[in-house]
Amino acid sequence: MKKIGIVGGIAWPSTVEYYSGLCRLAERRHLAQGGAGVAPMPRIAIESLDLRDVLAAIGDDDDEASWTDFDALHRDALLRLQAGGADVAVIASNTPHHRFASITRGVCMPVPSILDAAARACNEHDARRVLILGTQTTMRSQAFRAAFASHGIEAFAPPDLADRRRIAEIIEALQRERIEGAAARIEAIVAKSLSQAGNQRAAVYLGCTELPLAFPEFQAQPQFECRGLCCLNSTALHIHAAFEYAIESTDN
């Protein structure tokens, strides 16, 4: 099994989910193959960033140079993982994927994109539209829309700016492990957003790795149904993508 690197700390609860999720998949695979005894675990290295540094380095989309420090923080973490022997790495956060092309420039190991994993899930469910929920950067990201569009999927954010602020507040609460009431607040914003968008059926992309924490009963599931909506758990989808890379040579 290949060694997996995680750029984490952004924020720490989702980093825990990546580590535990990879180990759960390894155990599940071991049982499915009829293995006995202790399951072989993937070798995992975590390069943990300080969330304060990351937030302080977020740039302005009208000023490319303003992203220099943000990109460098994540790229340097990937390069340290690569130097430490990681064969594949994931960035355990949605927001850096807004700068994915720049961050991964010069990195030689595979770095699976969280957006590609989500787009594949949309196609599996024949969802041609997806409502993006996440940080302010994620929800307004043209890079996110372009990534989904490359798979034939129209991506959009809540039309109401106040609802976008409410999503950001929910994320901050989840980062502090304040889960109570979060799911209901998210569901209300989703219902309103889809109504404002013409009430057309769309998948819901939980595009911040903290948002799935609001649904603990579905936390390890890549996709789940909630009040008739197909919700895409970006964290679990990304974990599955990383694990598939890690076992690729083992299964061939």
| Shared-domain flag, residues 146 and 90 | no
| pLDDT score, position 23 | 94
224-243 pLDDT, tens digit per residue, is 887 777 889 988 999 999 99
Query: Do 119 and 220 fall within a single domain?
Result: yes
Return the minimum-mean-pLDDT range out of 137-146, 192-201, 213-222, 224-233.
192-201
Regarding whether 129 and 53 lie in a shared domain, the answer is no
Per-residue confidence (pLDDT) for residue 238, from 0 to 100: 93
Q: What's the pLDDT at 202? A: 80
Same domain, 128 and 228: yes
CA distance 97 to 148: 12
The pLDDT of residue 219? 76
Residue 83 shares a structural domain with residue 140: no
> Model confidence over 121-180: pLDDT tens digits?
888 877 888 999 998 898 999 999 998 999 899 999 999 999 999 999 998 898 788 888
Percent share of the chain, pLDDT over 70: 96
Give the C-alpha separation, 140 to 69, whole Å. Answer: 20
What's the confidence (pLDDT) of residue 197?
66
Q: Are residues 150 and 209 in the same domain?
A: yes
Higher model confidence: residue 211 or residue 48?
A: 48
191 contacts 118 by C-beta, under 8 angstroms = no
What are the phi and psi torsion angles at 147 (to 5°)?
Answer: -65, -45
> Both 86 and 130 in a single domain?
no
Number of domains in the chain: 2
17/62 same-domain check: yes
Residue 102: give its domain's CATH number. 3.40.50.1860
Same domain, 150 and 223: yes
What's the mean pLDDT in 53-63? Answer: 93
Interstrand relation of 88-91 and 154-156 (parallel, antiparallel or unpaired):
unpaired
Count CB-CB contacts under 10 A for residue 176. 10
Same domain flag for 226 and 123:
yes
Please tell me the predicted confidence (pLDDT) of residue 13.
82
What lies within 8 Å, CB to CB, of 168 at 6+ separation is: 135, 136
Q: What is the mean pLDDT of the chain?
A: 89
- pLDDT digit string, tens, across residues 83-120: 999 999 999 998 999 999 999 999 999 999 999 988 88
The answer to whether residue 203 scores a pLDDT higher than 50 is yes
Three-class DSSP labels, the chain = CCCEEEEECCCHHHHHHHHHHHHHHHHHHHHHCCCCCCCCCCCEEEEECCHHHHHHCCCECCEHHHHHHHHHHHHHHHHHHHHCCCCEEEECCCHHHHHHHHHCCCCCCCCCCHHHHHHHHHHHCCCCEEEEECCHHHHHCHHHHHHHHCCCCEEECCCCHHHHHHHHHHHHHHHCCCCCCHHHHHHHHHHHHHHHCCCCCCEEEECCCCHHHHCHHHCCCCEEEECCEEEEEHHHHHHHHHHHHHHHHHHC
Do 128 and 209 lie in one domain? The reply is: yes
Q: Output the six-digit token pair for 104.
A: 């991964």
pLDDT at 252: 43
- Tell me which residue range forms the domain holding 103: 4-113+238-251
Looking at the structure, tell me whether residues 109 and 121 fall in a common domain.
no
